[in-house]
Structure 1
Amino acid sequence: MLRELATVSCYATDLTAAERWYTELLGIEPYYRVPGYVEYRVGESEDELGLIDARYRPGGPAAPAPTGAVVFWDVDDLPAAVDRLVALGATVHEPLREHGDGEGFATASVVDPFGNVLGVMSNPHHRALRARRAATAG
């Protein structure tokens, strides 16, 4: 039933500040903007990250945050990613944690300056997938 990630949505009471923050974090400009919504395409799979004005959040802008599911984004260097997020103003929600028996799978999460939980992970499956893609592309 669930085939692939479509869009990850984050809410922000200050959409302009959120756009600046995520543009700095991602190193790319949004590809789509309409009033109350900004969207980025991220990574090789062009996963979509949408920023939505908090007035459209279920329960409205006063709804408690952080809420909802935590979506984890694969990163090349997990400690460096957490350090960069914190340097950009995020706060640690769940510190870096290894999973399994030294298999290279680890996660961490932060709360962005707008109250959204942002997960980052090191995942050997994704590294192997990228290596296969690179081998077939080159």
Structure 2
Amino acid sequence: MTNTIKLRGMANVSFWADDLQAAKVWYTKLLGVEPYFQSPNPENPAYIEYRIGDSQDELGIIDKKYAPPAASMTGVGGATLYWHVVDVEGMLAITKKLGAVEYEPLTERGVDWVTASVVDPFGNIIGFIHSPHYQEVWSSMGQG
């Protein structure tokens, strides 16, 4: 019998924002693309979603009024999702220029392996990583 109960890959990461319109402007500047999905409509969204990165991963941003009650027990987001980038130091500078606050400074983790993270203006952690592991997996899939 095949084990069908397993994690198969990140399908979506969702952040919360008190001001979804402001978050839409901020993330559109950061990502360089408009959200491809907005519900219930673009004028008054409760949820927006971007497709980004090599695998067109989903980044969703939800109006904080829909957050589960336990979410209000913490300040900054509870997990750090690291997005692979070519230039961690450059992304750190770009996000700080857009108003994010450094959460974890630029940190060398090994040969060609660097991380850093910021807190966006809405209280979510965004991690950046340059990892030889990501490069190896991506190359093994026939990607550049």
| TM-score, normalised with respect to structure 2 | 0.85
Among all aligned residue pairs of Structure 1 and Structure 2, give the percentage whose two residues are the same amino acid.
45
> Does residue 124 of the first structure (1) align with residue 124 of the second (2)?
no
CA distance in 2 between partners of 1:72 and 1:22 (Å): 16
> Does residue 16 of the first structure (1) align with residue 21 of the second (2)?
yes
> Does residue 64 of the first structure (1) align with residue 74 of the second (2)?
yes
Matched positions, count:
132
The Cα shift of 1:62 comes to: 4.9
CA distance in 2 between partners of 1:107 and 1:61 (Å): 26
Number of the residue aligned with 1:2 = 7
The Cα shift of 1:3 comes to: 1.5
Structural mapping, 1:8-47, within 5 Å: 8-34=13-39, 35-47=45-57
Asked whether the equivalents of residues 54 and 60 of structure 1 are also in contact (C-alpha less than 8 Å), the reply is: no
The Cα shift of 1:68 comes to: 1.6
CA distance in 1 between partners of 2:68 and 2:77 (Å): 10
CA distance in 1 between partners of 2:143 and 2:77 (Å): 35
Moved segments of 4+, more than 3 Å: 60-64, 128-132
Number of the residue aligned with 2:109 = 99
| TM-score, normalised with respect to structure 1 | 0.88
CA distance in 1 between partners of 2:73 and 2:46 (Å): 17
Long gaps (5+) in structure 2:
1-5, 40-44
Long gaps (5+) in structure 1:
none
**1:67-125 Cα deviation digits (max 9, x unpaired):** 3211110011010000001000000001011113xx21111110000000111111112
